[in-house]
Amino acid sequence: MREVLAEWRPVIDDAIEELLPRRIDDAYLTDFFGEPTYKYQPEAIQEALADPIWLLLDRGGKRWRAILFLMIVDALGDDPEEYLPYACIPEILHNGTIIVDDVEDEAQMRRGGPALHHEHGTDIALNAGNAMYFIPLKVIEKYRGDLSDSQRLAIYEMLTHELNRTHLGQGMDICWHNEKEITVDEQQYYEMCACKTGCLARIVARLAAIVTDQPEEVEQQLARYAEELSIAFQIGDDILDIQNTLDQAGEFGKEFGNDIREGKKTLMAIYTAQEAPAEDVARLEEILWAEDNTDEEIMEAIEIMQSVGAIEYADTRARELSASARSHLDDLDLESESEQHLREFTKFVIERQE
């Protein structure tokens, strides 16, 4: 699976560059956004959009959402090369959410460098992040000849629904890590993931189904596959944050113990609050609530979670969700080799730390 991701990533980056060039000029602005009422200033748009966006994209990221879109298209029997502009939609959206999320979390680092609001300022970062929510709509408009009116309407309605749910999930997550006590239960955590992370994955699957003109039942099965895969991915990502040591953190571009420093209520923290002695839970909540943590406190929080087997529990749940995601492919008429890639991908998202 790593080879598949490595093969497709430069192709995706080239396709994104077609939609948002590294260098902005009047010709591009007119072609993509329409004739100006008066006069564009390409230099300002370069500084406010292209530079910060490409700074983030060039730092890394596996582009798995875009590549998953292409794998689904391939599994449905269509040529993925013909759908490259649409594959960029979830990737652009994802990176936009990253920029805004980092501002909201007051994150210091992203992909091995300073978060964009530290590099370019909060105003430019938010403008660039918000723009990335709307650029996908221009993709649908620019390539409108490839789709019927009903397909375009279905895409607009789908994006509106899923992006609204994304903000529900982000709102839940923000409130939880701004509260000292861990009052969240496991089902609420899954719902947060289904919205915050799952909706972007559902966009991947539903978009692939719509542009290839699949029946609604196929679209919904693929959406469930993608949603459960993404929840497994989120749990795996939380486990990765715990498992990283101080000298390993750079590979993933995160600070050591980043989720603990931010006070996030991960599945491991929620499980610990349910299973650990009251004094250990109180101490974990104190560490999560603190404005700043020492490395020793980070390790203390991890040890509290380890004492009740929280990491193993989270890993088990991730694997169960991964298996459930695969089950949604069982009754679909998919190309066999491509279907196997989709099944393997559900394992990759939780085994990438191994």
pLDDT in tens, 277-310: 999 999 999 999 998 888 889 889 999 999 999 9
Measured between alpha carbons, how far is residue 330 from residues 75, 313, 343 in Å?
A: 13, 27, 10
Task: Tell me which residue of 176, 199, 333 sits closest to 269, measured CA to CA.
Answer: 176
For helices 2-19 and 64-75, the axis angle rounded to 10 degrees is: 100
Cα gap 46→152, rounded to integer Å? 29
pLDDT at 178: 84
pLDDT in tens, 2-23: 888 888 999 999 999 999 999 9
Cα gap 156→163, rounded to integer Å? 11
Cα gap 322→19, rounded to integer Å? 33
Segments making up each domain of the chain, as ranges: 1-146, 148-354
Of 99-103, 124-128, 244-248, 267-271, the range with the lowest mean pLDDT is: 244-248
Task: Tell me which residue of 258, 250, 254 sits closest to 298, measured CA to CA.
Answer: 258
Task: Tell me which residue of 354, 166, 165, 329 sits closest to 243, measured CA to CA.
Answer: 354
Cα gap 181→195, rounded to integer Å? 22
Cα gap 107→105, rounded to integer Å? 5
Q: What is the mean pLDDT of residues 67-89?
A: 96
pLDDT at 349: 87
**CATH number assigned to the domain with residue range 148-354, chosen from the 4 options 1.10.600.10, 1.10.3720.10, 1.20.1260.10, 1.10.10.10:** 1.10.600.10
Do domains 1-146 and 148-354 share one topology? The answer is yes
CATH for 1-146? 1.10.600.10
pLDDT in tens, 202-237: 999 999 999 999 999 999 999 999 999 999 999 998
Neighbouring CB atoms inside 10 A of 33's CB total 12
